[in-house]
Amino acid sequence: MAIPPQVIEQVRQAADIVDVIGGYVPLKRAGANFKALSPFNKEKTPSFFVSPQRQTFKCFSSGHGGDVFKFLMLYENLDFPAAVRRVAEKVGIRVEEERRGGADGDYDRQRRQRDRLLALHSEVLVYWRELLLHDQRARAARDYMHGREIPQSWIRDFGLGFAPDAWDDTLRWGQEHGYDEALLLAAGLLVRNEAGRMYDRFRGRLIFSIANDQGQPIAFSARSLDKEAKAAKYINSPETPIFTKSKVLFGLHRAKRPIMDESRAIICEGQIDVLRCHAAGVLNAVAPLGTAFTPEHARIIKRYTRQVVLCLDADKAGLNAAERVTQIFLDQTDSMDAMLQTELGVQIVRLPDGHDPDSMITREGAAAFKACVARPQEYLDFYLDRLRETNDMSAISGRRAVIESAAAFLARVPNRAYREQLLRQTALRLSVSDDILLARVAELERQAKRSAQQAAVRAADHERANHTVSGGVAPPARAEVLQPHPLMLNLLQLVAAHPRQIPAVQKMLDPLWVRDLPGAELWQKLADLYNDEGWENITAVLPRLADREQNFLAGLPLEELEKTADDATLAMAGRLVRLLQLNHVQGQLQIVWRQLAAPGLADDDKAALLARMRNLQLQKNTLTART
């Protein structure tokens, strides 16, 4: 039996490596990463690092590195399938295995279907886009856009379109372009009624494309244009082999880099809110699809930043959504203190009454909205305001409820200095004695400590019973780590941080120049995997590589390089390629010199070698001048 590749990837995407490793090793924040004493060696200075952005670990004292599965394989002495199952249990995913004999065939079929679905979504979006731009049937959609002050430039910039008000327009288009009913149904573009008849899902609606991390259309959200219609205002694509609603944030493919640059993500409620933000220059805005913000969304956000600004509607539903979203973030910190080490990491923007991001930017202007976003309310203040609004502070029961809730919040802050600061602020806001609040916080902390001790005893018993690393199994041996040529190291580091530059490097780099350099094989593997799968994060390809290659890549410092703009990295790639060519030319010159020194060399051979040497020397001089 084998675990299907798509299930392995689903488990990997659902797991946060900091959460998982934090359950075994006490991690502490170290800049953008986390650190701890090595779980594989005895040491006094931490050499074990975990990267939440890359979802990898690296132990510099033992040399081991890799993804979340590799850690469990080493720490608990598991094989790969067992490690996948263990992680799946932690994130609540059921793993169903398939017979090994059919695994490769099933994987190939699923991959072909995925490729066809991606192509279908891209092509139908172009069709709908052209209809919205030019077709008479889309007049109502263009009128709606005009009424909402949505410029036509959004159509191409943000992937908008129009689905005609017909039962079979998309069906006929698909058949004309080589897409059968089965694929159109699998893509969610068609619906089958009880009688078995197929008809278009999206009819007479303005289309908003939903993209994956790579910017490829994978689903659609469609807005009704008929004010009198009883149908839902918005309908979304159903879940498909390429689209899982709870794991997609609208606009993330455009917002990832701005989120990292700004060190915070702005979470809105609707697609138009996000598009209006992006058009206004607030590029770090994203939104869940619909109203539900899931723990999976939170895990995705935490890969790029630990600071979240909730920019929600200034009505009761918006405020309730803010509490719900914030609670999701808080609930995930139970196994790691990261988000509460110095601050909560969650702020609230309460827009003026009657406004959402779209309406505020449209009516008040981008500058007014940016000014509002620049002054978010700390979650503590928001939380206390909500407690006071929802409880009668003049009544004993209401006042006690507020104090209990505030104390429970403060007890979750592990940094004592920060907690004391928050406690004084809370006591002042609630007009309560510091001592009273401190006493209740201390009692809740003691209760939490007792619970943690009991959990630790249970974990230790389980560890001893299962003979994990700390319970008797010998720690893994010193790992072998790939030692590439210095120039190859720089190239591998660049493409690991910016895989989108791989095609450009391939165009510039002659494989002959690096053929004999240590690290060339890994470069070729990464390039082949990118050409086949379009990977975006180095973590996604680690399991396909040899252990020594995984250990090398997991230890690469990529954080600063990842912040470099694409044009700058392309220039860096060009210089690296020239240096690799220069290194090759210098090596060829050495070979020619040795050949010329050979005894008994014929005159014709000597003349040919001298001509080759002159040509190589000319290349060397040219390359040296350019680098």
Q: Which residue has the tokens 């007009």?
A: 431
Residue 315: pLDDT band (50, 70, 90) is low
Distances (CA, A) of 533 to 112, 394, 528, 541, 566: 12, 62, 8, 10, 20
Q: What is the mean pLDDT of residues 44-69?
A: 91
User: What pLDDT shows up at residue 313?
Assistant: 64
> 263 and 325: one domain?
yes
Local structure of residue 240 (DSSP, 8 states) = B
Residue 338: pLDDT band (50, 70, 90) is very low
In a domain, 180, yes or no: yes
User: What pLDDT shows up at residue 89?
Assistant: 84
In this prediction, what percent of the chain has a pLDDT beyond 70?
A: 87
H helices of 346-471, in order, are 357-364, 366-373, 379-390, 396-411, 416-430, 434-466
Residue 101 scores a pLDDT above 70: no
**Which residues on adjacent β-strands are paired with residue 50?**
34, 57
Count of CB atoms situated within 10 Å of the CB of 283? 18
In this prediction, what percent of the chain has a pLDDT beyond 90?
A: 35
Residues 6 or more apart in contact with residue 570 via CB below 8 angstroms: 501, 504
Distances (CA, A) of 40 to 58, 260, 499: 11, 32, 31
CA distance linking residue 402 with residue 399, whole number of Å: 5
CA distance linking residue 193 with residue 168, whole number of Å: 13
554, 56 contact by CB (below 8 A): yes
Residue 344 scores a pLDDT above 50: no
Q: Is 543 left (phi over 0), alpha (psi -120 to 50) or beta?
A: alpha
Q: What is the mean pLDDT of residues 346-357?
A: 86
User: What pLDDT shows up at residue 172?
Assistant: 95
CA distance linking residue 409 with residue 445, whole number of Å: 11
User: What pLDDT shows up at residue 533?
Assistant: 74
User: What pLDDT shows up at residue 516?
Assistant: 75
**Which residues on adjacent β-strands are paired with residue 236?**
221
Report the DSSP pairing between strands 265-267 and 308-312.
parallel
Least confident span in 131-145, 435-449, 497-511 = 435-449
> 73 and 182: one domain?
no
CA distance linking residue 537 with residue 70, whole number of Å: 16
307, 263 contact by CB (below 8 A): yes
- Mean pLDDT, rounded, of the chain: 83
User: What pLDDT shows up at residue 324?
Assistant: 57
Least confident span in 105-119, 254-268, 561-575 = 105-119
Distances (CA, A) of 546 to 20, 481, 502, 541: 23, 10, 20, 11
In a domain, 287, yes or no: yes
Tokens of 148: 């909402």
Residues 6 or more apart in contact with residue 462 via CB below 8 angstroms: none
User: What pLDDT shows up at residue 195?
Assistant: 82
553, 542 contact by CB (below 8 A): yes
Residue 438 scores a pLDDT above 80: yes
Among 218, 242, 266, the domain-final residue is: 242
- Sequence letter at residue 50: V
Which range of residues forms the domain containing residue 114?
104-242
Structure-model confidence comparison of residues 606 and 217, the more confident one: 217
In a domain, 271, yes or no: yes
> 522 and 562: one domain?
yes
Residue 382 scores a pLDDT above 50: yes
175, 150 contact by CB (below 8 A): no
In a domain, 481, yes or no: no
> 495 and 513: one domain?
yes
Query: pLDDT tens-digit profile of 458-503?
Result: 655 555 555 444 444 556 666 788 888 899 999 999 999 999 899 9
CATH of residue 119 = 3.90.980.10
User: What pLDDT shows up at residue 590?
Assistant: 83
CATH of residue 382 = 3.40.1360.10
> 277 and 309: one domain?
yes
* Distance in Å from the first CA to the final CA of the chain: 54
CA distance linking residue 358 with residue 280, whole number of Å: 10
> 233 and 254: one domain?
no
Residue 277 scores a pLDDT above 90: yes
Q: Cα-flanking dihedrals φ and ψ of residue 321, to 5°?
A: -65, -40
User: What pLDDT shows up at residue 335?
Assistant: 26
Among 390, 425, 454, the domain-final residue is: 390
Cβ-defined contacts of 291-295 (< 8 Å, 24+):
291/321, 292/246, 293/267, 293/321, 293/324, 293/325, 293/328, 294/246, 294/247, 294/328, 295/328, 295/331, 295/332
Residue 66: pLDDT band (50, 70, 90) is very high
CATH of residue 86 = 3.90.580.10
Among 185, 219, 242, the domain-final residue is: 242
Residue 317 scores a pLDDT above 60: no
Residue 585 scores a pLDDT above 70: yes
In a domain, 96, yes or no: no
In a domain, 445, yes or no: no
Query: pLDDT tens-digit profile of 389-402?
Result: 888 888 777 888 88
Q: How many domains, in total, are found in the chain? A: 4
CA distance linking residue 200 with residue 172, whole number of Å: 10
- Sequence letter at residue 387: L
* Total number of residues shown for the chain: 627
332, 19 contact by CB (below 8 A): yes
Q: Which residue has the tokens 């044009």?
A: 567
> 227 and 109: one domain?
yes
Query: pLDDT tens-digit profile of 149-175?
Result: 999 999 999 999 999 999 999 999 999
Tell me the torsion sign for CA atoms 56, 59, 64, 69: negative
Query: pLDDT tens-digit profile of 169-192?
Result: 999 999 999 999 999 999 999 998
Report the DSSP pairing between strands 265-267 and 285-288.
parallel
> 584 and 498: one domain?
yes
User: What pLDDT shows up at residue 537?
Assistant: 82
Q: Which residue has the tokens 């392309």?
A: 570
Residue 334 scores a pLDDT above 50: no
Residues 6 or more apart in contact with residue 241 via CB below 8 angstroms: 6, 110, 113, 114, 117, 186
> 12 and 37: one domain?
yes
Residue 341 scores a pLDDT above 50: no
In a domain, 466, yes or no: no
248, 271 contact by CB (below 8 A): no
**Which residues on adjacent β-strands are paired with residue 52?**
none
Residue 103 scores a pLDDT above 60: no
497, 568 contact by CB (below 8 A): no
> 301 and 319: one domain?
yes
In a domain, 200, yes or no: yes
Least confident span in 35-39, 86-90, 167-171 = 86-90
User: What pLDDT shows up at residue 194?
Assistant: 80
CATH of residue 564 = 1.10.860
User: What pLDDT shows up at residue 332?
Assistant: 44
User: What pLDDT shows up at residue 327?
Assistant: 55
CA distance linking residue 142 with residue 136, whole number of Å: 10
> 293 and 382: one domain?
yes
> 263 and 324: one domain?
yes
**Which residues on adjacent β-strands are paired with residue 66?**
57
Least confident span in 26-35, 239-248, 450-459 = 450-459
258, 284 contact by CB (below 8 A): yes
